[in-house]
A and B are shown apart, each in its own frame.
Chain A
């Protein structure tokens, strides 16, 4: 049975999917996620290194998905948001552990490790980042 997604591609993205590994330009201080291999501002003067994002940010914008793509039927309705990380980069991720009525723009969120999808019953399980509202201690 063919794999739905290339194993090599999934494996290469583990550092960014599991622990938000991006890059940082130590010349200008810009952060990049997904990781960029070079800095578009500093170009050849840029000094790019791997950098793990803290996993905290706020909701920049969001939408509610009622008609899911294949494999996401159990989660409907789910919240898909653009998250602005503390470090600056914006990324698209699902908001989990809450309901659509509790979500708002500007809400502080925290990265959590969740199951994203599965290649059927016998294929590999894709894990990665989602975000949840910050829990009060």
Chain B
């Protein structure tokens, strides 16, 4: 019996800020950032939203399309780098909100931007080993960049959830990972904002891990890029995923349906899951998808997926991307609680 995605749900908060609005505050030329990062605007959470509320919305959307009794969910794992509590799981909040408690296991994951796909791998293993019937894996973030830092132009909010089980809509044919200790981006305990190695986040971090994990997956499955209809990579900006794709010989048209970063920014743990959800919204029975996440620190999880059934009744990602309200920088700092009161 194959294991894979039986339902999925995504969510992007309604608020946006444009690159021009941020650049104007710091005396920078917005065109440099728009050209350099290939990002026009990013999503911003509402004042009453955090990684837990985003995770709940994603989980409810995933359940909505399945009709599965949440009491049959045996595991809830939430991956995020912006869990609302340092100690107290986000997973229990999500499990309670979707009525999956109390007979289940739960934990929070952290691995920079790839914690959501790590949660998918664990749910897949638990289902495959018959320890649980269904597992819920969520990647959700309300990421923060230090004011004035390059990260401020992209650090965004959003997420996606995948219900993993048997007899799936989308089979996970194979998954593998490529992981090393690479200090490209980090946030120390008690610190509000992360720090990063600027250009060091590129070659030794993003490109090495994404390309190696993808090649490893192709090797292990005996497939080539030509076997896949869609490809999604982690998208910290609009440039990196297409550049990695070019090196692997992936035509851009296979990547564009899952490339959301130019419209919503980098949603961190939500980024690869949201890109995958956007692809599933338009995928047809028989389509094959390759997905590779990246988390700083550093590692990549790669997935080979195949659509087995017609996907019906999703809450489309497009609906959330198109529903937007722009904020000025003052409103943005209020939303992100950067004003000391």
Question: A residues near B, CB below 8 A?
Answer: 14-15, 18-19, 52, 73-75, 94, 96-97, 99, 112-116, 125, 127, 130, 135-137
Contacts and interface: CB of A to CB of B under 8 A. Distances in A.
Interface string B298-341: 00000000000000000110010001010000000010010001
B53 A114 contact: yes
Q: Which 7 residue pairs are nearest across A and B when measured between Cβ atoms?
A: A113-B56, A114-B48, A18-B97, A74-B47, A115-B48, A18-B96, A113-B97
B57 A75 contact: no
A50 B47 CA distance: 32
Given A115-B50, A127-B53, 7 more contacts: A52-B99, A75-B48, A96-B46, A96-B48, A99-B325, A113-B56, A115-B48
Contacts of A73: 341
Q: Counting chain B CB atoms within 10 Å of each CB, which of A15, A18, A113, A115 scores highest?
A: A113
Chain B, interface size: which category? 20 to 34
Interface string B12-56: 001000000000000000000000000000000011111011001
Nearest to B313: A137
A96 B98 CA distance: 20
Contacts of B96: 14-15, 18-19
Nearest to A114: B48
Interface of B: 14, 46-50, 52-53, 56-57, 60, 84-85, 93, 96-99, 315-316, 319, 323, 325, 334, 337, 341
A88 to B, nearest CB: 21
Contacts of B53: 112-115, 127
B323 A130 contact: no
Contact of A97 (B14, B52, B56, B316): B14
B94 to A, nearest CB: 9
Nearest to A99: B325
B158 to A, nearest CB: 14
A137 B48 contact: no
Contacts of A116: 48
A74 B335 CA distance: 8
B85 A125 contact: yes
Contact of B98 (A19, A75, A97, A114): A19
Nearest to A15: B96
A116 B93 CA distance: 14
